Amino acid sequence: MFPDNLKYTEDHEWVREEGGACTVGITAFAAEQLGDVTYVELPEVGAAFKKGDEAATVESVKAASDVYAPVAGHVIETNAELEARPELVNESPYDKGWFFKLDDFDPAQLRGLMNAAAYAKFVEEQGH
């Protein structure tokens, strides 16, 4: 259910390390809980975040929710396609629905995140 090549947070963000950067999005579980995503507010390229900082906002027919930086870093790219097509978060959360990319991050912070099995257990234990 959750891709094995990603790391996960308790706030339902996922992180994929690739080419010296971290791509960040929200999990399919989070997208499902939100319902149909209608708007995504992305961070500015160049913004710096500490781990746990509010980095983006996602709005749906049900609720608005913050997306947090799963690791500290600097935004090097955002998914501008989400501005015109926020539904990509629901349709393709791990591929086309990513939010932003960070560089200048501490790999040790990645090691502190959950793998797919631990995240699946976490979701189950939350009663979902």
Q: What are 54-78's pLDDT values in tens digits? A: 999 999 999 999 999 999 999 999 9
How many structural domains is the chain composed of? 1
pLDDT of 12-21, one tens digit each? 999 999 989 9
Domain membership of residue 123 (yes or no) is no
Residue that has been written with the tokens 């234990």 in this structure: 125
Domain membership of residue 121 (yes or no) is no
Mean pLDDT estimate for the chain: 96
Domain membership of residue 97 (yes or no) is yes
Domain of residue 42: give its range: 7-105
Which CATH number fits the domain that encloses residue 32?
Answer: 2.40.50.100
Rounded-to-10 torsion of CA 117, 104, 28, 64:
130
pLDDT of 71-104, one tens digit each? 999 999 999 999 999 999 999 999 999 999 999 9
Is the pLDDT confidence value at 126 over 90? no
E strand spans, 11-63: 13-18, 21-26, 37-41, 48-49, 54-60
pTM above 0.75, yes or no: yes
Domain membership of residue 111 (yes or no) is no
Phi, psi of 76 (to 5 degrees): -110, -15
Round to whole Å and give the CA distance between 29 and 27: 5
Domain membership of residue 56 (yes or no) is yes
Is the pLDDT confidence value at 128 over 90? no
Rounded-to-10 torsion of CA 102, 39, 64, 44:
30
